[in-house]
């Protein structure tokens, strides 16, 4: 109750901000063209979540990896066809990205009800949004009306998807370019409250840490048990991002303060003087984290949205019409 006033004002402001975009998105975009769109997406997702408790983490990461390359245009879902293009999934940075086929399943359900209306980019955004609330996080209102790209780019995926050892400067620049404040940038990385990381992405920190790396001693010992070799012998072992990997809470920030951040960039947020006070505030006040994450999420999911002139509504998410 306490939060409904500020939330309302926030959504009005965001509505305004999104309205200023070139592409016309709105909160009731499918009101006439596909009135049950959101219910259909929710219904399909419940089935997916019930058989795979790790699916919400996958959908949330999928949104970031879609929006980070050419904008939120479902370019990550395009398969290679002919000799014209290579899938973004070939990028090393898309290692272990999952649930693309689940988006296709949701798309089929929507095509059965209202053919050619709901974009794959909107499905990715809705799936990520539902993943957050299903995991106990905030319920976030997002505008809809994204269009799907006709192209994808492996080169852009390689260039724009960040490395786990990106600097804090590079990290802040990445999210600042999406209109996020310092607080929102720290909040959006709180998405790492869900899911896992593979040894591949942490062995550097475990066996060849930078002198400034202040990883907790027992945490490092635990991780070395899970990832015993400097070059992983296989790619199946993974460790949780935080101790509650299926719950969207502020535990991630609590653990950052204990030196238990999994990736280099996670850990750096707790040592950089710009981000440390914000990490402390989120660790102390979950509802403040939720509010800030919500506005950051709307900005992330509105990155470089295509207008109808430049994009389309794909009939099948894995290929352009
Ligand atoms: C500088 C920014 C970021 C970097 C460097 C980064 C890096 C990573 C890495 C290396 C992994 C582990 C992949 C693996 O080994 O399986 C990961 C997982 C994940 N990331 Fe990020 N990430 C960033 C931002 C984000 C953002 C903005 C979101 C969402 C809003 C996000 C959501 C996730 C989720 C949910 C997982 C777990 C996926 C799963 O369990 O399948 N990340 N991230
Ligand atoms: C693990 O995956 C990475 C990235 O795709 C690849 O470079 C590496 O060769 C794989 N390692 C093994 C042992 O399969």
Q: How far is the CA of 252 from the centre of ligand 1 (A)?
A: 13
Question: How far is it, in rounded angstroms, from Cα 295 to Cα 253?
Answer: 18
What pLDDT shows up at residue 80? 87
Protein residue with its CA nearest to atom 14 in ligand 2: 234
3-class SS of residue 36: coil
Q: Is residue 61 pLDDT above 60, yes or no?
A: yes
- Indicate the Cα dihedral angle 190, 191, 194, 200, nearest 10°: -100
Question: How far is it, in rounded angstroms, from Cα 10 to Cα 71?
Answer: 23
Please provide the DSSP assignment of 142-181 as one string.
--B---B-S---HHHHHHHSPPTT--HHHHHHHHHTTT--
pLDDT tens-digit profile of 106-149?
999 999 999 999 999 999 999 999 999 999 999 999 999 999 99
pLDDT tens-digit profile of 12-29?
444 444 444 457 899 999
Q: 11 vs 22, 143, 168, CA distance in Å?
A: 19, 10, 29
Catalytic residue, candidates 61, 65, 100, 314: 65
pLDDT band at 104 (very low <50, low <70, confident <90, very high): very high
Domain ranges of the chain: 5-161, 168-294
Q: How far is the CA of 29 from the centre of ligand 2 (A)?
A: 42
* CATH number for the domain formed by residue range(s) 5-161: 1.10.520.10
Question: What is the reported pTM?
Answer: 0.93
pLDDT tens-digit profile of 147-191?
999 999 999 999 999 999 999 999 999 999 999 999 999 999 999
198 given a catalytic annotation: no
Six-digit token string for 34: 């596909």
By CB neighbour count within 10 A (0-12 exposed, 13-18 middle, 19+ buried), where does 2 fall?
exposed
Name residues whose C-beta falls within 8 Å of residue 91's C-beta, 6 or more positions apart in sequence.
Answer: 154, 157, 158, 161
* CATH number for the domain formed by residue range(s) 168-294: 1.10.420.10
């Amino acid at each position: 109750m306490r939060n409904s006033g500020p939330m309302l004002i926030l959504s009005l402001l965001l509505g305004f901000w999104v309205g200023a975009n070139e592409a016309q998105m709105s909160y009731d975009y499918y009101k006439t063209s596909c009135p049950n769109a959101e219910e259909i997406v929710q219904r399909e997702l419940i089935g997916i979540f019930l058989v795979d408790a790790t699916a919400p983490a996958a959908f949330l990461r999928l949104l970031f990896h879609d929006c980070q390359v050419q904008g939120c245009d479902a370019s990550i879902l395009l398969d290679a066809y002919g000799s014209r293009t290579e899938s973004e999934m070939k990028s090393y940075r898309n290692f272990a990205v999952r649930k693309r086929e689940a988006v296709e399943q949701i798309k089929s359900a929507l095509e059965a009800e209202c053919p050619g209306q709901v974009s794959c980019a909107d499905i990715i955004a809705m799936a990520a949004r539902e993943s957050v609330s299903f995991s106990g996080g905030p319920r976030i209102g997002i505008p809809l009306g994204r269009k799907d790209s006709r192209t994808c780019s492996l080169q852009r995926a390689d260039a724009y998807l960040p490395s786990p050892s990106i600097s804090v400067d590079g990290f802040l620049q990445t999210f600042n370019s999406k209109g996020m404040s310092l607080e929102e940038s720290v909040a959006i990385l709180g998405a790492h409250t869900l899911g896992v990381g593979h040894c591949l992405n942490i062995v550097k920190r475990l066996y060849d840490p930078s002198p400034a790396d202040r990883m907790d001693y027992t945490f490092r010992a635990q991780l070395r048990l899970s990832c015993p070799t400097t070059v992983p012998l296989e790619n199946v072992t993974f460790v949780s991002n935080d101790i509650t990997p299926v719950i969207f809470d502020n535990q991630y920030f609590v653990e950052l303060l204990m030196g238990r951040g999994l990736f280099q960039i996670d850990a750096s947020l707790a040592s950089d003087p710009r981000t440390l006070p914000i990490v402390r505030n989120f660790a102390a006040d979950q509802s403040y984290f939720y509010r800030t994450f919500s506005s950051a999420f709307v900005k992330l999911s509105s990155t470089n949205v295509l207008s109808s002139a430049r994009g389309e509504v794909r009939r099948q998410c894995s290929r352009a019409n």
